[in-house]
Amino acid sequence: MLLALVLNACNITKQLRDSQQLLYNGSTIKVEGETRNDVINPIGDNLKQKPNKRFIGITKLKMRMYYFGSKHGDSKIGVYMRDKYGELPVILDTAFIESSVKAMKGYLKSRGFYYPTINYDIKSRRQRATVQYSINTGHVYHIGSYQINCADKKLYDILIANEKDALVMRGNRLKQDVLLDEQKRIVTLLRNYGYYTFSPEFISFDVDTANNNWNVNVSLNVLNKGIFEVHKVHINKNVYINIEPNYDVNGFKNIDTIKAPSFYYMPNRFKLNYKVLEQNMFLTPGNVFNQEELTSTYNRLGDLSVFRYINITPKPYLQNDTQYIDYYLKLSPNVKYDYVIEPQAIYSDQNNTFTNQSSTGNYGVAGILQFNNRNTFANAELLKLTYRSSFEAQGKVNGSRWFNATEQSLTASLTFPRLLLFPKIDKNYRFVNTKSILTTSGIYELNTNFERRVFTSGIIYQLNKKYISFYITPFEVSYTRNTVNSDTLQSLINKDIYLFSMFSNNLILGGRFGFTYSNKAKSKSNKHVFLRWDVLELSGNTATALNKLFDRPFNETNTYNILGVNYSQFAKTALDFRYNIKQDENNATVFRIFAGVGIPYGNSPRFLPFERRFWVGGANSLRAWLPRSLGPGGYYEFGQIDFSGDVKLEFNAEFRFNMYNRWLEGAVFVDAGNVWMANKDDKRPLANFEFNRFAKELGIGSGFGTRLNFDIILVRLDFAIPLHDPSYNVGSRWVITNFDQDWLFNNINFNFGIGYPF
């Protein structure tokens, strides 16, 4: 069928010759003058006619499908190919050319090029036409002078007092979107000063291009409300909150109105402490109207899990020559209880560190049961109970791959919509929300080699702004208990102090803080960044200080313990930075840098606990290696089990492109990185990090992938091969020099993932 589609091209051009029509083959754009990348790259978006789509090297495949289906009439295959996958041929239309020229001139004017010239030429061959546009942008205009015209002195004083935040500045290039942004800024500014009825219609700009020096005079005009009427400040007066009942209230009269300090509260028998609303309300009677406070009230109430619908209606009115605003809030309660049952099929390429490695991957089944209780104690708390049960086949045991591993976990979390013990911070409307989360969990893991039990509890504070989120965990305790069931593994542990540290019972007593930043939501360009920095995690310092304060003796290993268990003492930091460049709607390039360092000291001077170590490899890391199969550094030993480290560096670059109709995507990528030990060990040469050596010990891999993008989920298949392998001797690390068919077959690594790797 594919051959038939290709050969069908002659039928297409023949029909076009008979009709004297030209098949539109696309456009080329040549730009001259004072060009800039931010002008050239998007100018093609103004073309009003698009050619037929291409797919995997076959020109205009969808158009060919249309003609192929048309040849078969109303048959099943004809209708299927013509109507479902086909696309009518795009015929050149000069009306679209003229509208494209007009749109490009309008676009250039919005970017400061007021007098561009645009010519076009139609090139045709074999009934196929290409439009060639020649653009001379001319000179770009800059802002020579900027003045504010405002008859109302109060408004004028506010604008001058906040002039440092102005977006229109002398010397900058004249851009229409900057003028619009300045208009929005002024409207928001004045509404935050109490001018509730102020809107964009009261702001205009005059642009004078009469000068011959390519500079323009820009005037900002702030208009009064009327010829003899100035804008007035509005004062918050009354706030009425009504909880809409979710049951039949015919004939029911509300008699339970509560007079709270700053509002009237009608719960309608809905059990919610009014103090929760007080904590998340910023509409204070007697205060001047503030747009940010109104928006923050929306956000805070919307973030509470107890409401599914929120409506705030401000009603301004005049009383005794003063403008007041009353607020009417209608809140619809959410369902109190719900649960989620989620069956899962498990497949991963992850090597379990403690089992026999397998190139065929691990598979299994799992199920998650989650129960939610909203408004648990009538203070908008959210209680989540999550139970997960999984059974997995890991490696081969006695020739069998039947389920030989299980993991059972139970997690409970209680989220408070406020910062416990810090009420003043809660009332800062610049935070989108604040939360306190009490969490505890238990995990039981069993396979043929070991049993593992982990118990964790802690408290987390979250402070979220629009683009940045902070987290603080002042206290967290994690206890791990391991039991080895394999004589073979036990013999390895007895010989290897690193394995011994991995399987020893361990206690972590510490805390951490960090933040996440993303400008994707506010970035108007095709570039945005994501940054997560786990600034600092500390463990064991308080316990050691108390042991020293009370002069407690060391145990037989010359360390302190609590209830017979050694606790870890370390400091750790990790940074994940991502930079996304979107070339156009079909192509994007993403870069990622990850750097992390953990330093053990004090009560555990040689090792980080296994849960806090770094590793590389797998579907979201170095895709040419299986998880936990590279490192540390240039060290490698046959039969090695532990590949973790205290230091990690990783660099990734990926070019993503659309292959077909948005749902089929492709990618090519290169990954580099490794882990190292923080301390030097003569038994593990080249495993520690050194500045003069680390670049030569980076594992480098490359590959390609396909992605099925179904909007709600993205399924990813990546294939990668190693290029530089630091586990080899120094002169043999560029393993790509061994490339041939057999080498490729033995070294290609397949990765399956959900979502983008970064």
CATH label of the domain that carries residue 37? 3.10.20.310
Range of the domain at 318: 234-333
Q: Is pLDDT above 50 for 599?
A: yes
- Please report the pLDDT score of residue 631 as a whole number: 86
> How far is the CA of 6 from the CAs of 57, 151, 416, 755, in angstroms?
11, 70, 63, 34
672 part of a folded domain:
no
Residue 275 lies in a domain: yes
Distance between CA atoms of residues 16 and 18, nearest Å: 5
Q: Would the pTM count as exceeding 0.85?
A: no
pLDDT at position 2 = 42
Which two tokens mark 449? 């080699």
Q: Is 2 exposed, middle or buried (0-12, 13-18, 19+ CB in 10 A)?
A: exposed
Mean pLDDT across 350-358 = 46
Q: What angle do CA 461, 467, 470 make, to 5 degrees?
A: 20
Looking at residue 60, its pLDDT comes to 61
Say how far apart CA 440 and CA 459 lie, in whole Å: 9
Confidence of residue 59 (pLDDT cuts 50, 70, 90): low
Looking at the DSSP bridge assignments, the partners of residue 343 are 367
What share of the chain in percent tops pLDDT 70? 86
Among the residue ranges 220-234, 484-498, 581-595, the one predicted with the least confidence is 484-498
Q: 398-446, pLDDT tens digit by residue?
A: 445 566 788 899 999 999 999 998 888 887 878 888 999 999 999 999 8
299 is a domain residue: yes
Structure letter (DSSP) for residue 688: B
- What pLDDT is stored for residue 432 in this prediction? 85
Confidence of residue 9 (pLDDT cuts 50, 70, 90): very low
Amino acid at site 665:
E
- Answer yes or no: do 146 and 111 share one domain: no
The closest alpha carbon to 277, from 237, 328, 241, 314, belongs to 241
Q: Say if residue 431 is in the same domain as residue 326.
A: no
- Whether 302 and 426 map to the same domain: the answer is no
Range with the poorest average pLDDT among 50-59, 104-113, 254-263 = 50-59
Residues 712-733 have a mean pLDDT of 90
CA–CA dist 361, 41 (Å, integer): 44
Closest alpha carbon to 107 in 167, 217, 31, 209:
31
* Tens of pLDDT, residues 467-485: 899 999 999 999 999 888 8
CB–CB of 436/418 below 8 Å? yes
| Whole-number Å distance between alpha carbons of 205 and 182 | 10
Phi first, then psi: give them for residue 168, nearest 5 degrees. Answer: -90, 120
The torsion of the CA quartet 561, 566, 571, 576, rounded to 10 degrees, works out to -150
Distance CA 666, CA 273 (A): 53
In a domain, 438, yes or no: yes
| Cβ atoms within 10 Å of 478's Cβ, excluding its own | 20
350 pLDDT more than 70: no
**How many CB atoms lie under 10 A from the CB of residue 502?**
23
Residues 300 and 355 grouped into a single domain = no
Question: CB under 8 Å to 491, separation ≥6 — which residues?
Answer: none
The pLDDT tens digits of the residues spanning 602-625 come to 998 888 998 899 999 988 999 999
The C-alpha atoms of residue 629 and residue 353 are separated, in whole angstroms, by 9
> For residue 107, which phi and psi values (nearest 5 degrees)?
-65, -45
Q: What is the pLDDT of residue 615?
A: 92
> Residue 10's pLDDT is what?
46
In a domain, 536, yes or no: no
Fill in the DSSP letter of residue 489.
H
* pLDDT value, residue 472: 95
Peptide bond into 89 cis (omega under 30): no
Q: How confident is the model at residue 668 (pLDDT cuts 50, 70, 90)?
A: very high
Verify that 244 and 319 share a domain, yes or no.
Answer: yes
Question: What angle (nearest 5°) sits at the alpha carbon of residue 499, between those of residues 494 and 504?
Answer: 85
* Domain end point (choices 306, 333, 360): 333
Residue 356 pLDDT: 43
Claim to verify: residue 387 and residue 261 sit in the same structural domain: no
Secondary structure tally for the chain: helices H, strands E? 15, 29
Distance CA 219, CA 330 (A): 43
Residue with tokens 């109490």: 194
Distance, CA of 688 to CA of 80 (rounded, Å): 62
What the block records as the tokens of 152 is 């109302």
pLDDT at position 102: 92
Q: Is 530 exposed, middle or buried (0-12, 13-18, 19+ CB in 10 A)?
A: middle
Using one digit for the tens of pLDDT, what is the confidence trace for 93-150? 888 889 989 998 998 888 888 889 999 988 888 778 888 999 888 888 889 889 999 9
Residue 447's DSSP bridge partners are none
Once rounded to an integer, what is the mean pLDDT over residues 249-278? 79
> SS3 for 362?
strand
Q: CB–CB of 51/25 below 8 Å?
A: yes
Contact 659, 55 (CB under 8 A): yes
β-strands 234-243, 322-333 pairing? parallel
Is 359 within a domain? yes
Contact 727, 686 (CB under 8 A): no
What's the pLDDT at 347? 58
pLDDT above 90 as % of the chain:
46
Instruction: Report the pLDDT value the prediction gives residue 395, as an integer from 0 to 100.
Output: 59
At 373 the pLDDT is 95
Q: Are the CB atoms for 720 and 710 separated by under 8 Å?
A: no
User: Are 299 and 351 part of one and the same domain?
Assistant: no
Check residue 127 and give its pLDDT. Answer: 78
Which pLDDT value is given to residue 397? Answer: 47
* CB half-sphere exposure, 558, CA atoms < 13 A: 3
- Identify any residues that bridge with 651 across adjacent strands, giving them in sequence order: 593, 672
* Number of domains composing the chain: 4
Check pLDDT > 60 for residue 626: yes
Which residue in this structure is represented by tokens 């400040």?
233
- Answer yes or no: is 262 within a domain: yes
Q: Which string of DSSP letters, residue by residue, matches 73-139?
A: TTSHHHHIIIIII-----B--HHHHHHHHHHHHHHHHHTT--S-EEEEEEEEETTEEEEEEEEE--P
325 and 400 share one domain = no
Lookup: tokens for 327 = 């607020």
Q: Sign (positive/negative) of CA torsion 526, 720, 701, 615?
A: positive
**Would 405 be classed as within a structural domain?**
yes
**CA-wise closest residue to 736 among 725, 751, 750:** 725
The residue to which tokens 């069928």 are assigned: 1
The confidence score (pLDDT) of residue 670 equals: 97
Same domain (yes/no): 215, 181? yes
Residue 5's pLDDT is what?
46
Distance CA 718, CA 650 (A): 18
646 — pLDDT class (breaks 50, 70, 90): very high
172, 190, 222 - which closes a domain:
222
Are 660 and 56 within 8 A, CB to CB? Answer: yes
| Cα distances (Å, whole numbers) of residue 393 to 71, 346, 347, 365 | 52, 10, 10, 9
Do residues 271 and 243 touch, judged by C-beta distance below 8 A?
A: no
More confident position, 454 or 90: 454
Residue 269: per-residue pLDDT: 84
Alpha carbon distance 728, 9 (integer Å) = 53
pLDDT at 574 over 90: yes
Residues 129 and 147 in one domain: no
Structure tokens at 7: 């050969």
H/E stretch holding 528 reads strand 527-539
Exposure class string for 694-731: b at 16+ Cβ within 10 A, else e: beebbbbbbbebebebeeeeeebebebbbbbbbbeeee
- Mean predicted confidence (pLDDT) in 5-32: 63
Q: What is the pLDDT of residue 355?
A: 44
Domain ends where: 441, 465, 489? 465
In the predicted model, what is the mean pLDDT of the chain? Answer: 85
For residue 688, the model assigns a pLDDT of: 92
> Model confidence at 526, in pLDDT bands (50, 70, 90)?
confident
| 207: β partners | 218
DSSP 45: G
Q: pLDDT tens digit string along 177-225?
A: 899 999 999 999 999 999 999 999 999 999 887 777 788 899 999 999 8
Per residue in 366-398, pLDDT tens?
889 999 999 999 999 999 999 999 888 765 544
Asked if 8 and 119 sit in the same domain, the reply is yes
With 70 as the cut, is the pLDDT of residue 737 above it?
A: yes
Q: Are residues 346 and 284 in the same domain?
A: no
Scanning the structure block, which residue is given the tokens 């209708």?
Answer: 79
| DSSP run (H or E) holding 236 | strand 234-243
pLDDT at 156: 94
Question: What integer pLDDT is reported at residue 72 of this predicted model?
Answer: 62
Residue with tokens 């007066």: 237
Which strand (E) or helix (H) includes residue 391? strand 382-393
- Find out whether 101 and 46 touch, Cβ atoms under 8 Å: no
Residues 6+ apart with CB under 8 A from 671: 621, 622, 623, 624, 650, 651, 652, 700, 701, 702, 720
